[in-house]
Amino acid sequence: MNDSSSLPPNNGNDKQEPSAVPSAGVPIQSLWQKAWDYYQARNYAASLPLLQSGAAQDNFDCLETLAYMYDNGQGVQTDHLEAANWYRKAGDLGDVKAMTELADRYQKGFFEIQVDQAEALHWFRAAAEKGDGESMFRLGQFYENGIMGLPCDVDEAAGWYRKASCSNAKFVPDWAQEALKRLGK
């Protein structure tokens, strides 16, 4: 669910020291842009303090990028649990991408996270309530099949599929329409 393909791979340039520590007076968008410029140049050491400063200001882009860096050992030691902590902070603040990342990790037990159906459902539901079409579709599947600790409830499934069919998520409206046909709804 989380599309991290636009983030560049680590090429070993993460040992450089940043030239300046971010100032508290820097506007968050400028801070994020500078951090992203360093990140794209694979200067992770320069990007890291800027991202940390932006994360302290609850910037979703900074939080997500820090999580990605911890997942992939870019400028920091690989630490999937620390990555999950950054995703959780972003998710708690309402970031849908972070919510779906956490939902997947808890559903499937990815990256040192233990499978926890209740926690996965919490994050899928939170993302769906924020308009995430794929999460709506997945909730429909869970209700249709009576999985993830939910009862089999075709009407509830159809409700989630209807919501998903109105989303602009790639492929999801088509999948949802097919599911509604299958259910005869």
pLDDT value of position 111: 77
**Residue range 155-166, pLDDT digits in tens:** 999 999 999 999
Q: What burial letters (b/e) apply to 142-175, b meaning 16+ CB within 10 Å?
A: bbbeeebebeeeeebbbbbbbbbbebebeebbeb
pLDDT value of position 168: 85
Long-range Cβ pairs for the range 114-118 (8 Å, 24+): 117/148, 117/149, 118/149
Whole-number Å distance between alpha carbons of 144 and 103: 18
Is residue 2's pLDDT more than 90? no
Indicate the pTM of the whole model: 0.77
pLDDT value of position 124: 96
**Residue range 48-61, pLDDT digits in tens:** 999 999 999 999 99
